[in-house]
A and B are shown apart, each in its own frame.
Chain A
């Protein structure tokens, strides 16, 4: 049946909503889906390869509409469900909008009971989406390594598949508290900054980093020595190690990146080394009043209500 539909000219009612890749945009599209008859079959983002046999409707992001959807999810499906939607949106799965869309539509129908439908395809797909994001976030939290820079800022680099920086920042801001740090997502060129008061995420462009502090190499060497000494040689088990610590993380893990005789991790070229350049965390790169405003929010990929997170305390 589907095949037959695909080859015929698109009927008007075969619609897909197209949005601007922002979280609010996606929720606006969800809102719009309730105003249209028949119900649109899916929501897609900017990366989507358009097909010829369907009609695309571009949705203008509208914060009032997205707010209403957030309210609705919280009220009808519960706070957990909203958290899942928000987390799922950080996924790199190209079908994430479709999965989230179907989950919300189903959940709005069954309400809180959505948590019991563990074997429903729509709920399972959502489970998986959220699980993979959560798992990657935990792994990045385990394996990100910071370096002390001159002036006392700590710099760490990640290259995650999913956009997990918004999940990592509150964790480290809470933990490090008195210690300023920056986590640089080299895949998305975003940077999470914490200045001992609050954290925020911005584009990594234009940030200049100081040199490594004098004792940085000393502590790396000590750590590496510890790492190499702690293993029990009678129990050596490379498979088990790889299972727990997948290879793709190794290049950013200090003790592993030097295993194959590689040089100490250099600063990435995109974050320039410069002695006389403005120091990191100097106020000019990011005007405080712009944090979390709508102009920034698309670049930051953060939902409005969490965009300007001051660290939780």
Chain B
């Protein structure tokens, strides 16, 4: 099989992995080596689906002895199979990098014979890159659940970022759909990586030249919309992953129907709007100091499709508004819809040169369309605004109700009823036994 065919097969089987960022690592060039990394990451292209292409995202091989139902590469799926040799993949990465097509490599793999066999092959590619080619650019590798701690450690020392996919938002979903992947096999490497990261931080504090272990940290990914798990469950899971595993990122991937298992949805379009709302909520957890329980609860387990989660939260807490922009502290400013970390910082700066008016806020970059309902400037409300739930809700959702297609990622066929029933088959009663959700095992 020639390289072109291999590349096609192994790209096609890797494309459902969402994480393609090259962020979190900041390394300038090194004499005699090739490559550097930038903290915010660099996109190099955008595919026809509008997603950023930053890394050469491929599988080492799509041969897999496991049978995860939501995955195209599952053993029982009839697709062409291929495997790169470590040499050809290392060379390909360099050739692409030198032409500025990519920021580096994102490598994962099917389970060839055993998790360790696949991991060894992945390590081989990355070793070639780091030592033979002296490649100093970005590498993200996915550790394979069930592989040995030594290999996880080795991989971490070669990479910028290392991730283990948690795959599905609840343990019973995982048990039903990924029989070869007991949750321990996922959580164990995550724990090892977390501990290695902590240890490495201490080593680096003592000795600056200690070898860095995955300087861009650990991330994970879960598929949403393939199982009946709610947004509330998902957000709670993310929250504990950030807290207990110090993850840098949790990625959400709208399920694209690739399986035929009875428990999986079939003709449903990918829930892109839901995915978008989850990213917004995730953002609130990471940068705005929100807790998952502030955004959702047992009674309201789904994010509102019409309204972003921050506006939604503010509408539920009108008693703390309006906020006086000229006096509020940073935490409070961050709670105002339409004010992000950047504009909050700019407000704090600009206030030192004089009191701010509504006009000034606009100049600073505050999104007045959302902020106007929730603030006062020098003690005055925005003219014509009433601080009532119905007034604000009507106005904020007016566009979306008039033109649902204007919503981000809203495909025509997606239903916009307020709390859409999950269009996925429910797990059987037997699967639900014990209410053993991820959260519990994470405690």
Query: Which A residues have a C-beta under 8 Å from some C-beta of B?
Result: 113, 115-120, 124, 141-148, 154, 156, 172-179, 215, 219, 221-223, 225-241, 243-245, 253-256, 313
Contacts and interface: CB of A to CB of B under 8 A. Distances in A.
Contacts of A156: 100
Interface stretch (B201-209, B244-252, B350-358): B350-358
Contacts of B349: 115-116, 118
B33 A177 contact: yes
Interface string B39-57: 0001111111111110011
A245 B48 CA distance: 11
Contacts of A230: 11, 14-15, 47, 53, 57
Contacts of A142: 42-45
B350 A235 contact: no
Contacts of B101: 145, 223, 254
Given A142-B42, A231-B49, A219 B95 contact: yes
A179 B42 contact: no
Contact of A113 (B32, B35, B353, B359): B353
Contacts of B16: 232
B92 interface: yes
A237 B46 CA distance: 10
B52 A148 contact: no
B243 interface: no
Interface residues of B, number: 58
Interface string B1-19: 0011001100110111000
A261 B134 CA distance: 37
A176 B94 CA distance: 11
B30 interface: yes
Nearest to A239: B50
A125 to B, nearest CB: 11
Contacts of A113: 352-353
B29 interface: yes
A245 B46 contact: yes
Interface in B212-230: none
B187 to A, nearest CB: 28
A227 to B, nearest CB: 6
B363 interface: yes
A229 B50 contact: no
A141 B42 contact: yes
B402 interface: no
Contacts of B56: 226
A230 B53 CA distance: 9
16 contacts: A115-B349, A173-B29, A177-B31, A179-B98, A222-B96, A225-B8, A225-B11, A229-B15, A232-B15, A234-B270, A235-B49, A235-B272, A237-B49, A240-B46, A241-B46, A245-B45
Given A145-B100, A229-B12, A222 B7 contact: yes
A241 B11 contact: no
Contacts of B29: 173-177, 313
Main secondary structure of the interface of A (DSSP, over half): helix
Most chain A beta-carbon neighbours within 10 Å: one of B8, B30, B47: B47
B363 A124 contact: yes
B34 interface: yes
Contacts of A231: 15, 47-49, 51
Most chain A beta-carbon neighbours within 10 Å: one of B29, B256, B269: B29
B177 to A, nearest CB: 19
A236 B272 CA distance: 11
Interface string B90-104: 001001101111000
Given A232-B15, A253-B45, A240 B50 contact: yes
Interface string B73-105: 000000000000000000010011011110000
Contacts of A243: 50
Contact of A178 (B32, B57, B269, B363): B32
Nearest to A215: B95
A184 to B, nearest CB: 14
Contacts of B28: 174
A73 B158 CA distance: 44
Contacts of B98: 146, 148, 154, 176, 179
A219 B57 CA distance: 16
Shortest beta-carbon contacts, A-B, top 4 = A240-B50, A231-B47, A235-B49, A237-B50
Nearest to B5: A225
Contact of B48 (A117, A175, A236): A236
Contacts of B14: 230
Given A177-B31, A239-B50, A240-B50, 13 more contacts: A118-B346, A118-B364, A154-B99, A175-B137, A177-B30, A223-B96, A226-B96, A229-B8, A232-B15, A235-B49, A237-B50, A254-B99, A255-B45
A175 B364 CA distance: 34
A221 B2 CA distance: 13
B36 A174 contact: yes
Contacts of B58: 226
Contacts of A241: 46-50
B360 interface: yes
A222 B3 contact: yes
A179 B58 CA distance: 25
Contact of A146 (B35, B49, B50, B100): B100
B316 to A, nearest CB: 31
Contacts of A179: 34, 98
Nearest to A152: B98
Given A119-B356, A145-B100, A229 B11 contact: yes
A261 to B, nearest CB: 16
A230 B16 CA distance: 9
A305 to B, nearest CB: 21
A255 B44 CA distance: 11
A226 B15 contact: no
Contacts of A256: 45
Nearest to B56: A226
B15 A221 contact: no
A177 B32 CA distance: 7
A259 to B, nearest CB: 9
Contacts of A177: 29-35
Given A116-B352, A145-B100, A154-B99, A175 B36 contact: yes
B196 to A, nearest CB: 28
A70 to B, nearest CB: 25
Contacts of A178: 32-34, 134
Nearest to B255: A234
Contacts of A245: 45-46
Given A142-B43, A174-B28, A238 B48 contact: yes
Most chain B beta-carbon neighbours within 10 Å: one of A225, A230, A238: A230
A176 B101 CA distance: 13
B345 to A, nearest CB: 10
Contacts of A238: 48, 50
Interface string B301-320: 00000000000000000000
